[in-house]
Amino acid sequence: MKTIPMLDLRLEYEYMKEDIDNAIKKCLNHQRWILGPEVKELEDKMALYLGTKHCIGACSGTEALVMALRALAIKRKKQEFFDHNDKIITTSFTFTATGDTILRAGATPVFVDIDPETFNIDIHQIEECIAKTKNVVGIVPVHLYGQACNMDEIMKLAGEHELFILEDVAQAYGGMWKEQKLGSIGTAGAFSFFPAKNLGGFGDGGMVATDDDEIMEMVRMLLRHGGKDKYNVDHVGYNGRLDTLQAAIVSAKMKYIDEFNEKRRNIAEIYTKELSDVDGLVLPVKNVNMPDEHVFHQYTISVLRGKRNELQKYLKEKGISTMVYYPYPLHKMKVFGSGRSKSFGSLMHSESATEHVLSLPVEPLQSMADTEKIIDIIRKFFTK
Ligand SMILES: *Cc1c(COP(=O)(O)O)cnc(C)c1O
């Protein structure tokens, strides 16, 4: 039986083989594996693409988040870590690392609920949470599945309450809010090049983007063990550098990112067109009032009436992979228990989403025939 994967990284490699092979060969020739020329090259290219003053390579999206948060603590509080009393607002419906990095930076994550339509953090909940919570120092909005949070509203709240905004852009490279690239709007943005992200390397990698000189300098110190001189350091640092080889590969792949994001949008458009009349599904509908450009890192449907797991099993039997992003909300995880985090309100939409969401294959190079096959089988499930 022919199977359809969520992603086909081998197919993508074949598509851009020459560019990638050449980039790797260049590294083999120069042998400068730690902070080699490709790292600076990628940082400059990305800063230009995103429209930020600085980009700083990191060894993963997670470490990019941690180092950005640590740099913010050092800059704003003049201390190595945030205090447990410092609250950072984020969503409960995201990848673990969003909340975990807040813990690692010493602060307390405060989880607020999502807007059930977009799965992104609910702006009204943030507003209420700020009004009722002491010592909120910042917000980490996540552009989930490649769709922008309402950055106008978030930046407005940041201005009114002197908060920092760290955008978690791990799923939204190339996504836009109005005329601005995601990750370039807040105080800083953190990207991931995990292989399955919409801009992925051949291993772990990440990036911090910022206009702030102090944050840039601090992240550069933190990623080299905490000092300008790594043999005589000032801060509690990390070995957080972006690998030369990953920088070379991501740099080669950047040539294709706009084309691939467009291909993702095209597949999403077909799904939406062909599935919109299926009773029992809620599709990621484009809100015409939202001036964003979705990059469809995931095309995520909601399956109603408790049929999500049944549909997933049915698709699997027919050779079609799907994924549940995410099966648990952060506030229910043990790591965020024992008083380490706070929950604001009921978080009912986050909890409900974990029971209903299903992400369909969006391989940019996926054939029309495969997309149609997936649609056919989903339709069959609902008429069987
Ligand atoms: C993948 C991801 C991260 C972490 O990135 P890594 O490169 O895997 O460390 C953080 N936040 C979100 C929302 C992600 O999807």
Atom of ligand 1 nearest to the CA of 192: 7
371-375: which pairs have CB atoms within 8 A and are 24 or more residues apart? 371/267, 371/270, 371/271, 372/270, 372/274, 373/4, 373/320, 374/4, 374/271, 374/315, 374/320, 375/270, 375/271, 375/274, 375/275
- 95-144: per-residue pLDDT in tens? 999 999 999 999 999 999 999 999 999 999 999 999 999 999 999 999 99
Task: Give DSSP secondary structure letters for 318-348.
Answer: TTB--B-S-SS-GGGSGGGTTTT-EE-S--H
| 167 touches 141 (CB < 8 A) | yes
* C-alpha span between 188 and 169 (Å, rounded): 10
What does the block give as tokens for 218? 């601090």
Quote the CA–CA distance of 338 and 3 in Å, as a whole number. Answer: 43
> Measured in angstroms, how far is the CA atom of residue 231 from the centroid of ligand 1?
30
Residue 244, ligand 1, Cβ within 6 A: no
- CB-CB contact of 19 with 252 (8 Å): yes
Whole-number pLDDT of residue 3: 95
pLDDT digits (tens, 9 = 90+) for 28-49: 999 999 999 999 999 999 999 9
From the CA of 66, how far away is ligand 1's center (Å)? 11
Q: Which CATH superfamily is domain 257-383 in?
A: Aspartate Aminotransferase, domain 1 (3.90.1150.10)
Question: What does the pLDDT read at residue 288?
Answer: 65
Which ranges in the chain are annotated with CATH 3.40.640.10? 9-112+119-255
User: Has domain 9-112+119-255 been given CATH number 3.40.50.720?
Assistant: no
- What are the tens digits of pLDDT across the range 59-69? 999 999 999 99
CA 170 to ligand 1 center in whole angstroms: 5
Ligand 1 pocket test: which of 60, 65, 90, 95 has the largest number of ligand atoms within 8 Å of its C-beta? 95
Residue 355, pLDDT score: 97
pLDDT of res. 247 = 98
As annotated, the residues of the chain forming the CATH 3.90.1150.10 domain(s) are 257-383
Q: Supply the residue whose CA is at minimum distance from atom 5 of ligand 1.
A: 61
Q: What is the pLDDT of residue 271?
A: 97
Which atom of ligand 1 is least distant from the CA of 63? Answer: 9
The atom of ligand 1 lying closest to the CA of 171 is 15
Q: Which residues of the chain have pLDDT under 70?
A: 286-289
Q: Is 113 in the pocket of ligand 1 (CB under 6 A)?
A: no
- 111 CA → ligand 1 middle, Å: 17
Q: Specify the DSSP class assigned to residue 5.
A: -
